[in-house]
Each structure stands twice: as structure tokens, then as C-alpha cells.
Amino acid sequence: MRVLILGGDGYLGWPTAMAFAAKGHDVMVLDSYLRRTIAMETNSEALTPNPNLGARASVFEQLTGKKIEVVIGDCADYRTMTTVFSQFKPEAVIHYAEQPSAPYSMMNFDTAHVTLNNNLNATFNTIFAVMEHTPECHIIKLGTMGEYGTPNIDIEEGWLEIEHKGRKDKFLYPRQAGSLYHTTKVLDTDMLWFYVRAYGIRVTDLMQGPVYGLSTTEADMDERLIPNFHYDDIFGTVMNRFLTQAVAGIPLTVYGKGGQTRGYLNITDTLKCVDLAMNNPAESGQLRILNQFTEVFSVNELAEKVKRVGDHMGLNVQVKSIDNPRKEREEHRYVAHSTGLMELGLKPHLMTDEVVAGMLNKIMKYKDRIDPAKVMPRVLWP
Ligand SMILES: NC(=O)c1ccc[n+]([C@@H]2O[C@H](COP(=O)([O-])OP(=O)(O)OC[C@H]3O[C@@H](n4cnc5c(N)ncnc54)[C@H](O)[C@@H]3O)[C@@H](O)[C@H]2O)c1
């Protein structure tokens, strides 16, 4: 298939591009380097030395003989999208191209504005480019489990049947996000649902939980192919932060009471989920929503896991609760359902002690690059 990956320089985009190219798909990646720019501006560069996209694509081609076409450009610019869609004619587009940091979106007016404009325009332009140039193209959009928030009822897979005054109808599950970033994802979903209803496009919206890990089949071939792995307070997801803190000998920073509970998944499973969604496309006129996580943990449970495995490896891991920089529930009910991806064939890679030890061992190679100044939260919710 011809697969276009928006945000193909990212933590998830680059390994997806390699995995699809390795399978024999024609892959094009488009990225504006927004994450690299924000990382430089906020002193949040990745732990791993990541060559630019062109350089990574040529390393990958030397090793595998497979080509990944690279375009540096902005999805929020419709002319760029028109050129890419009209020339490449993708059959599937994987849309990762958003500003994904909740803290960054909460820093100040300018960062909120960048997040809002970038994310909504990237999604809007993707929808229009598909409608104008490739109406059969399947849009696979990365949403987040954070769209649902932490409601006091079960989190269903995208939709909720509601009975009101004796009548029933099905609606998008109510969404209550905890940051502006997460709110842009809610708005994306609403916008996609409108264009699905109005124009019959085909869309899969993957409500993904926080991802961990830095190892995939292709990334393991060469150090220069490793996904950009962040441990900072801006881009680092909690498990990746804890693993790096354990290696650096910095106490694991549990925000508040640590009862915040979410659904997590291994980066290998992200690639598999996107692959399953692509091989089993949504119908025309369907917004298919799949909850994408494999295991549920509280922050305290993650910290305990990293401590247990790290101590076993001689790391002497400390855990420290710090004031929560975010406004969020620290103790709450969390019952979230996810059956769609399992039904499509997902076989989860769970967070076993061996997996945790493997990640710690990989991170140890980069110990000298860990900058403690990037660890403590620098952005407070108002
Ligand atoms: N990593 C996670 O744990 C996680 C969890 C849930 C959802 N997601 C979602 O998955 C997607 C990918 O996340 P990630 O962790 O790989 O983030 P990332 O920041 O590493 O990757 C996103 C990429 O998109 C690019 N980009 C952003 N705006 C762009 C634009 N307008 N034009 C072109 N390129 C643009 C960035 O430069 C970056 O390379 C995001 O949409 C994110 O919201 C990620």
C-alpha cells in the first residue's frame, strides 16, 4: 500500500515508517520538525542522538534496501498537503503530526496558541486533502485516552448509548480533557465525526494511552534508528521518565498521591495497532474508535515496578512524591474498555520485569547524556 505518515520524525512516526517499509509498503513521511524545534526552545532534547529524517532514511535504506521517502513540510500548510496528497496518492494516511505535550500546551498564551492552531489545522488539512485528492484514503488518526478524562463511570470504546426521557440514541462518549493539548484531541475527534457524517470519509481514531519503550525490530538494527526518547517533563511520558530517573540515580518523581491511573502500551504494540487498523480499514462514512492500551497501572504501581527491577539490577532506586504540577484527580475510579484491537488480532507485549530490565539496560548506554535539569516539572497548571 501507499502509506503517508504525518509526523514521521516523531517517537511513534519514525518506527512506524520503518516497520511499514520493512513490510514492503511504499512509505512517505512528512514532518515539520516541530518537536525538535520545541525541544530546543524548552531545553527538552531527547536522550537519544537522533539524526535528521533524511539521514535516518538513508541508514535504513543501506541496511534493508527499502526506501522511505522524506518530505520536510508543515501539515498546517494546505499547499504542502495538496502537493503531497496529489503526487503520492496515499491509500492510508497515519496522522501523528500534532504538538503532543500537555505541559507545553499549558505554559502560556503562545504555546497554547501553537498547540491549538497546529493540531486543529493539521487535522483539518488532512481531512480536506483526502476529500480533494484521495477520497477513498483511510485516515488513521492518533487520539488519546486522555480525551475521556477520569469519569466516575466506565470508559467505553468511543461511543455511549444514552437513554433520555424514554428514548435512546448513541453519541460520542462524553469527553473531559485535563489539558489544552488533550482538548485539541477532543476537538479533532468532533471535527472528524462531522466530516464522516457530512462527506462519508473513512476514519479510525485510535484513543491511545501513554506509550513506553525504545526498542522495535527495525530500531534495534542500528543506534541511529532509535526513536527519539524523551525523559524530560515536557515530552517524556511517565514510564520513560521513571526508567531514565532510575538509571540517573534521581528519585522517581511521583506527582502528588500517585493514584493517577491510565492504560499503557509498549511501542511495539503501537506499531501493531496501527498496522491492524490499516489492514482492516474503516468503511466509508464510518468513524471507528478503538481504545489503544494493553494494561492499566497507577503511577505508584509504575514507580514500584521500576524500583523493584532497578534494585534487582543494583540501581538503588528511590521514589519521591512531589507537588503535582497538574490539576488532576490523584485517586479515582478507572475502568476503561478496549476490545476492538484484540478482536482485530492484537497480542499484547506486557510490561514484564524482563521488559523493564531490557529498557533500563538500553537507557544505561545513554547515561552520560542525562541532564538532571530536564527532570523536575517546570510547568504548573494555573
Ligand atoms: N507517545 C505517546 O505516549 C502518545 C500517547 C497518546 C497519543 N499520542 C499521539 O500520537 C501522536 C504521535 O506522538 P509522539 O509521541 O510520536 O509525538 P512526537 O512529538 O514525537 O511526534 C509528532 C511528530 O509530528 C511532527 N509534527 C507536529 N506538527 C506537525 C505539523 N503541523 N506538520 C508536520 N509535522 C508535524 C513533530 O515534529 C513530531 O516529529 C501524537 O498525535 C500524540 O498526540 C502519543
Nearest CA owner, ligand 1 atom 29: 97
Nearest CA owner, ligand 1 atom 38: 10
Q: Would you say how long the chain is, in residues?
A: 382
Nearest CA owner, ligand 1 atom 43: 100
Report how far Cα 345 is from the mean position of its chain's Cα atoms: 20
Taking the C-alpha atoms of residue 135 and residue 62, their distance in angstroms, rounded to an integer, is 35
One-letter amino acid of 79: R
Q: What pTM was computed for the model?
A: 0.98
Q: Which residues line ligand 1 (CB under 6 A)?
A: 7, 9-13, 30-35, 74-76, 96-100, 118, 122, 142, 144, 208, 210-211, 228, 237
* The CATH number, out of the four listed (3.40.630.30, 3.40.50.720, 3.60.10.10, 3.60.150.10), of the domain defined by the range 2-374: 3.40.50.720
Looking at the CA of residue 122, tell me the nearest atom of ligand 1: 31
The per-residue pLDDT string of the chain (382 residues; one tens digit each, 9 = 90 and over) reads 999 999 999 999 999 999 999 999 999 999 999 999 999 999 999 999 999 999 999 999 999 999 999 999 999 999 999 999 999 999 999 999 999 999 999 999 999 999 999 999 999 999 999 999 999 999 999 999 999 999 999 999 999 999 999 999 999 999 999 999 999 999 999 999 999 999 999 999 999 999 999 999 999 999 999 999 999 999 999 999 999 999 999 999 999 999 999 999 999 999 999 999 999 999 999 999 999 999 999 999 999 999 999 999 999 999 999 999 999 999 999 999 999 999 999 999 999 999 999 999 999 999 999 999 999 999 999 8
One-letter amino acid of 10: G
pLDDT of residue 80: 98
Quick one: which H or E segment has residue 230? none
Asked about 365 being catalytic, the answer comes back as no
Asked about 181 being catalytic, the answer comes back as yes
- Active-site entry in 11, 181, 231, 334: 181
pLDDT of residue 312: 98
Grid cell locating 99: 504538538
CA of 210 to the centre of ligand 1 (A): 12
pLDDT of residue 67: 98
Asked about 367 being catalytic, the answer comes back as no
Grid cell locating 42: 524548552
CA angle in degrees (0–180, nearest 5) for 231-228-294? 75
What separation in angstroms does the CA of 352 have from each of 245, 348, 349?
Answer: 19, 11, 8
Looking at the CA of residue 235, tell me the nearest atom of ligand 1: 19
pLDDT of residue 130: 98
Taking the C-alpha atoms of residue 268 and residue 218, their distance in angstroms, rounded to an integer, is 11
Quick one: which H or E segment has residue 5? strand 2-6
- Kindly report the number of other CB atoms within 10 A of residue 260's CB atom: 24
| Beta carbons of 233 and 212 less than 8 angstroms apart | no
Angle 109-133/78-88 helices, nearest 10 degrees?
A: 30
pLDDT of residue 162: 97
Taking the C-alpha atoms of residue 118 and residue 124, their distance in angstroms, rounded to an integer, is 10
pLDDT of residue 379: 96
